């Protein structure tokens, strides 16, 4: 019996030593972002969606699009993109939003005033292994500049640029930006976006 006891306690000690060694050997705990990961993530170029692309998808009522507004609720209420869901950046990891952000079907686009918060949110969610998440390039500032108040290209500009300008002018009218010089509408239409949730149960609680 004595020998058996020593064997089992020894097994526990070996196991814990194993945990200790792998923890120390990897030096940085597994749940921390390592520098090489950050470089890999930053150098990915397909993480952005341009304002033109977003406008096109919004205008075609693309049902697979989920817009996430990362700003404070106050800012969200005063102006937001059509159909956007407000998840302030500090709540991005909350369980209640996980189904919205982490799923395969929808294209999730993060935005804030610039692309600052969106990049942070994107890095976080990328690190968690979430797919199909994108950043609105230039954020709302860029949205206003390019879509709501497009500037007319100079006469020597290429045909492409004129086409883009025409598209933007149409988009501007669609999103209530009015003419290129008009006021930004504060009551953009907000069609409800149906969110297809991946089946996911919250982990329950032992005794509680």
Partner 1 sequence: MGPLYPLGIISDEINMLIGFFIGIGFGFLLEAAGFTNTRKLAGVFYGYDFVVLKVFFSAGITAAIGLFLMNHYGYIDIQSIFYPKTFWIPTLIGGGIMAFGFLIGGFCPGTSLCAAVTGKIDAMVFVLGIFIGIFFYAFTYEPLWETLRNSGKMGKVNIADWMGISDGLFIFLMTVIAAIMFFAVTLIQKKVTSKRDYQL
Partner 2 sequence: MDRSKTYMNSYLAGILIGVFMIAAYYFSGEGLGASGAMKAVVITAVNDINHDYAKEAHFFKARVKDEEKSPAKTWLVFEIIGVIAGAILSAAIYGRLKLQVVKAPHITNKTRLIAALIGGILFGVGSQLGRGCTSGMVMSGMGVLSLSGFIGLVAIFGGGYVIAYFFRKLWI
Interface residues with partner 1 (CB under 8 A)? 5, 8-9, 12-13, 15-24, 26, 29-31, 198-208
* Mutual angle of helices 159-174 and 51-59, in 10-degree steps: 50
199 interface partner picked from partner 2, partner 1, none, CB below 5 to 8 A per type: partner 1
For the chain, what is the largest distance between any 2 Cα atoms, rounded to a whole number of angstroms? 94
- Whole-number minimum distance, CB 201 to partner 2, in Å? 8
22 interface partner picked from partner 1, partner 2, none, CB below 5 to 8 A per type: partner 1
Name the token pair of 42: 């930053």
- Whole-number minimum distance, CB 5 to partner 2, in Å? 6
**Interface residues toward partner 2, by CB under 8 A:** 1, 4-5, 8-9, 11-12, 201, 203-208
- What are the two backbone dihedrals, phi and then psi, of residue 156, each rounded to the nearest 5 degrees? -85, 0
Name the token pair of 179: 């003419």
4 interface partner picked from partner 1, partner 2, none, CB below 5 to 8 A per type: partner 2
Strand partners, 67: 109
Q: What does the alpha-carbon distance between residue 1 and residue 5 come to, in Å, rounded to a whole number? A: 6
17 interface partner picked from partner 1, partner 2, none, CB below 5 to 8 A per type: partner 1
DSSP state, residue 149: S
């Amino acid at each position: 019996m004595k020998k058996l006891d020593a064997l089992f306690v020894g097994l526990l000690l070996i196991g814990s030593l194993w945990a200790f060694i792998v923890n120390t050997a990897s030096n940085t705990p597994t749940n921390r972002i390592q520098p090489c990961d950050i470089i890999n993530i930053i150098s990915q170029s397909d993480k952005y969606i341009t304002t033109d692309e977003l406008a096109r998808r919004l205008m075609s009522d693309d049902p697979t699009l989920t817009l996430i507004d990362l700003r404070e609720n106050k800012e969200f209420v005063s102006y937001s993109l059509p159909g956007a869901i407000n998840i302030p950046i500090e709540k991005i990891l909350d369980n209640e939003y996980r189904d919205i952000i982490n799923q395969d079907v929808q294209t999730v686009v993060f935005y804030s005033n610039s692309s600052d918060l969106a990049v942070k949110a994107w890095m976080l969610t990328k690190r968690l292994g979430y797919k199909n998440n994108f950043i609105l390039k230039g954020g709302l500032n860029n949205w206003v500049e390019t879509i709501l108040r497009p500037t007319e290209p100079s006469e020597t500009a290429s045909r492409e640029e004129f086409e883009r300008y025409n598209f933007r002018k149409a988009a501007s009218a669609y999103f209530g930006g009015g003419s290129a010089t008009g006021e930004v509408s504060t009551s953009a239409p907000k069609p409800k976006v149906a969110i297809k949730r991946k089946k996911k149960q919250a982990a329950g609680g032992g005794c509680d």
